[in-house]
Amino acid sequence: MHTNNPIELNANENSLGMADSAKRAVTDSLGSGFRYPDNPSAALISKIATLHGVAENQISLGNGSTENIRAILQMLQHRALEEGRKFQMVIPVPTFDCAEMYADSIGAPVVKIPLTAENYDLDLQRLQKAANDFDGISLLYLCNPNNPTGTITSTAKLKDWVSNAPDNHYFLLDQAYLEYVTDPSFESGIEWVKQQLSDNLIVIHTFSKLYALAGMRVGYAISNPQAIEDVEAFMSMDNTNLSGAIAAIATLNDAEFLALSLRTTNQSRQMIESALDELGLRYLPSQANFIFHEIKGDLKTYIDRMRENGIKVGREFPPVKGFNRLTLGIPEEMEVFIEVLKSFRKKGWV
């Protein structure tokens, strides 16, 4: 089954594929491929500014939001160096691993605070303590919703911390999965930027998930104008390619596609939750396009067996054991996955 053409449910991509409107817009723009992307990237910045109700100088476009992560780390490390202070990044584990990889590459120490044992929440108290106990600059890299758990952090507690933190705490709030959140208590960090809750808050977002443009590499950071100017100094020149900017604009204009994208993921989430309920496998309340669920057994073996059945899932997210991260693909993919999972149950594997 599917072994040459596996169903890829391991990278939180959007299996719907790019919107037709985005494909058309990219094809139509190829005649301009010899020009630098100044015009489309300016147009995209303007659209994002309107979308969120911020000024254009509050936005930094990234070659994927991961470029913003790298630049923010470098900017703060550089600032610490200039001020003769130490620098560290504090992260929950597990979380999206890219920030840690970039920190390692520039020799910045990373303090890792495990999620809480019971519900796999961010341990805000310990994260805060790690920053409080450090006399240099701390960057708190916090994904909300978190990856791989798909769950959100208490808005009240996070907001309280961001509002009252000392000025050597910097917050990088990664909201890659923002549009999937349904919990009414959730507040976007972009609103906090607009309310000027803190000068030390940068929020990032991406076109890789709901917008189905992971391969086009477009993301962005939103903060106050000064922070954006500081980050921009560490971004690559002309980093947003023409096709990426054009595709992002077209998708932003395609309300029908965006509604379909959200509906599809929600439908797939329901299918998976029912199947997991039926099998009595625990899962965390997903507010994203993936779900973290129990597998009752060794993850590596489970991943290999799924792969043998034509499905890519997982990977390992230490220190958590016995859970798999499953990307919510399209319902047809979920049907295949559920069939395979149920066959595993019959064999006593899950």
Q: How many residues does the chain have?
A: 350
Say if residues 259 and 106 touch (Cβ distance below 8 Å). Answer: no
121 versus 174: smaller Cβ distance to ligand PLP: 174
Question: Shortest gap between Cβ of 95 and ligand PLP (angstroms)?
Answer: 7
Question: Shortest gap between Cβ of 339 and ligand PLP (angstroms)?
Answer: 26
43 versus 98: smaller Cβ distance to ligand PLP: 98
Q: In DSSP terms, which residues pair with 141 in a beta bridge?
A: 172
Q: Crossing angle, helix 20-29 and helix 255-279, to 10 degrees?
A: 140
The terminus-to-terminus CA distance of the chain in angstroms comes to 20
Residue nearest to ligand PLP (CB): 64
Question: Shortest gap between Cβ of 190 and ligand PLP (angstroms)?
Answer: 15
29 versus 206: smaller Cβ distance to ligand PLP: 206
Residue identified by tokens 């990664």 is 174
Question: Shortest gap between Cβ of 146 and ligand PLP (angstroms)?
Answer: 8
Between strands 290-294 and 323-327, the pairing is antiparallel
Which residues make up the interface to ligand PLP (CB under 6 A)?
Answer: 12, 64-66, 96, 143, 147, 174, 176, 206, 208, 214, 219
Contacts 24+ apart (CB under 8 A), 104-109: 106/73, 106/74, 106/77, 108/73, 108/77
Question: Shortest gap between Cβ of 162 and ligand PLP (angstroms)?
Answer: 18
214 versus 336: smaller Cβ distance to ligand PLP: 214
Q: In DSSP terms, which residues pair with 221 in a beta bridge?
A: 60, 204
10 versus 309: smaller Cβ distance to ligand PLP: 10
Question: Shortest gap between Cβ of 217 and ligand PLP (angstroms)?
Answer: 7
174 versus 254: smaller Cβ distance to ligand PLP: 174
Tokens representing residue 227 in the block: 């922070």
C-alpha dihedral, 254 to 245 to 47 to 252, nearest 10°:
20
